Amino acid sequence: MKILIIEDEPDLVYSAVAFLQHEGLVCEYAMNRFEGEDKLLAYHYDVVVLDISFPDGNGFHLLELIKKNFPETGVLIMSAKNSPEDRTKGLNIGADDYIPKPVHLPELNARVKALIRRRKFRGRSEVLFHEIYIDTESQTIRVHGNNMDVTKKEYDLMLFFMSNPERVLTRESIAEHLWGDDIDMASNYDFLYTHIKNLRKKILKLGGNDYLTTVYGIGYKFSAL
């Protein structure tokens, strides 16, 4: 899987590239529009992560270029959070998904993977972690082959964890992934804990292992024992 990140800020690019490469994805980057165009014309990419919040509107130009010339390439746009019209415009031009800036790396990771699944496997795809199997097309979870009954939120939570294995995920980033931005006004995250508790119970009931470890005071980690 080859990813191209087009972003002008060096530190952000390096962090994102490092993060994604850790996942086993081949990740390249371009720091301006011209470099981006050159790379796109030279190589094939499965997913392009593009920052469209450049004030001069060059991001849209690039997006149109990609959609016109490389229709099989998935595009994930990064847009400024307080510019909903940028997001709308980007999606209308044909971007597959968007992620608000500033970008949470686990979130970026999950979305890139979701986009790859959608694009590469035409939706039918699976995520496997030992005995836990997720079928993203039917949105079902199976433990040891047995179907696990989950709510939508629990499914999203499980998928988020399994997309980011071996990573510490902060409570805030999990909550943001499931409920969006405004949830930050919650003064405690007990409701998140409830969901995780339920998830654990369900996995254990079907004979699976509890890969969810609590990193006290910070968040959770989904890792092999």
Partner 1 sequence: MKLLYKTGIAYGIFSIVLLLTGGLILFIILKSFSENEMDEKLLVNMKRVEIFISEHDTFSGISPVIEVYETGIKPDNRPVFRDTFLYDPVEGEPEMFREASKICTVNGKSYKIIIRNSLIESHDFLGAIGKSVGIVLFSLLILLLVFSILFSKKVWKPFYYNLGLLKKFTLHDEKGPHLIPSGTKEFNELNKVVNSLTEKVIADYHSMKAFTGNASHEIQTPLAIIQNKLEVMLQSEKTDRETMEQLHAVLVAAKRLSKLNDTLLLLARIENRQFEKTENVKLCTIIKEQVDMFSDYITQVCITVRKECTEEITIQTDKSLCEIMIANLIGNAVKHNVINGEIIIRSEGKTLEISNTGNMHIPDPEKMFGRFIRSESSSSSPGLGLSIVKTICDSNGWVISYNCNEKIHTIKIIF
**Does residue 204 bind partner 1 (CB under 8 A)?**
no
CB 87 within 8 A of CB 77: yes
Q: Hey, CA dihedral for 85, 90, 4, 108, is it positive or negative?
A: positive
- Tallying the residues shown for the chain, one arrives at 225
| Total site size for partner 1, rule CB under 8 A | 45
**Does residue 155 bind partner 1 (CB under 8 A)?**
no
Binder of partner 1 out of 167, 177, 199, 208 (CB under 8 A):
167
**Does residue 125 bind partner 1 (CB under 8 A)?**
no
What is the distance between the alpha carbons of residues 72 and 81, in angstroms, rounded to a whole number? 27
The 8-class DSSP code of residue 131 comes to T
SS3 115: helix
- For partner 1, which stretch binds (CB under 8 A), given 28-36, 41-49, 137-145, 184-192? 184-192
- For partner 1, which stretch binds (CB under 8 A), given 58-66, 118-126, 174-182, 204-212? 174-182
- For partner 1, which stretch binds (CB under 8 A), given 34-42, 130-138, 200-208, 211-219? 211-219
- For partner 1, which stretch binds (CB under 8 A), given 6-14, 29-37, 119-127, 138-146? 6-14
Query: x/- contact string, 40-69, with partner 1 (CB under 8 A)?
Result: -------------xxx--------------
What is the distance between the alpha carbons of residues 82 and 84, in angstroms, rounded to a whole number? 6
CB 93 within 8 A of CB 4: no
**Counting Cβ atoms within 10 Å, is residue 161 exposed (0-12), middle (13-18) or buried (19+)?**
buried
What is the distance between the alpha carbons of residues 225 and 199, in angstroms, rounded to a whole number? 17
Under the rule (CB under 8 A), what is the footprint of partner 1?
9, 11-12, 15-16, 18-19, 53-55, 80-85, 101-106, 153, 167-168, 170, 172-173, 179-187, 190-191, 194-195, 215, 217-219
